[in-house]
Amino acid sequence: MNKNNVLFDNSDRAKFEVGVIINWWDFYYLVKNSLFDFVEELDTLRRDVNKTFSTTYTTPVYVGNAYGELFQIYLNYFKASPGFVSLTFYDSKGSLTVWSGKFFDGDDHKSKLQDISKAINDFSVGNINCSDCGSQQKLSDIQNNRYFGGIYCDGCWNGKWKEIEAKETYN
């Protein structure tokens, strides 16, 4: 390859992250109308990106909401009947679960998509749902109640997750 066509050399690569960004409404219609086609297209796209940029990690996929905030999404595809896609929306760093659920083949996905839309827009104004009971919380009130990707209201944290986290950390 001609050196002039190289965007950056290997020493620069660590400074860049290559990802795929989809805006909310494109994501909405792709999931609503052709969920499994969308997941397959995404897989192909990721493979192409990996080949183009010689990246070895899984190309991250982001969905941008109305506030311009990016959420890293993670899709897992189970084709066996009844097929479903498990989907998780994380914050932009991929470290905090904002929404998680399953989409079953043939279901009407509209209400779940409305759920996600609400969750990611609420997150942009500082609110998040407890990963256990689902109650809405102020992120700033509970930001230390975290275990892996989950975040918990004080009730769920003190009643259950605090102990699980402590065992994990100090064993």
Q: Which is nearer to Zn ion, 76 or 158 (CB)?
A: 158
Q: Which is nearer to Zn ion, 88 or 92 (CB)?
A: 88
No. of helices (H) and no. of strands (E), the chain: 6, 9
CB of 153 to Zn ion, least distance (A): 3
Among 70-78, 103-111, 129-137, 140-148, the segment contacting Zn ion (CB under 5 A): 129-137
Binding to Zn ion, residues 133-152 (CB under 5 A): 133
Our finding on whether 128 is near Zn ion (CB under 5 A) is no
Total interface residues for Zn ion by CB under 5 A:
5
Amino acid sitting at position 162: K
Our finding on whether 130 is near Zn ion (CB under 5 A) is yes
Q: Which of 69, 115, 122, 132 binds Zn ion (CB under 5 A)?
A: 132
CB of 93 to Zn ion, least distance (A): 22
Count of CB atoms situated within 10 Å of the CB of 131 = 22
List C-alpha distances in Å: 144 to 41, 100, 128, 129, 148: 37, 20, 13, 14, 12
**136-138 and 146-147 beta bridge pairing:** unpaired
Distance separating alpha carbons of residues 83 and 102, to the nearest angstrom: 10
Q: Given the rule CB under 5 A, which residues bind Zn ion? A: 130, 132-133, 153, 156
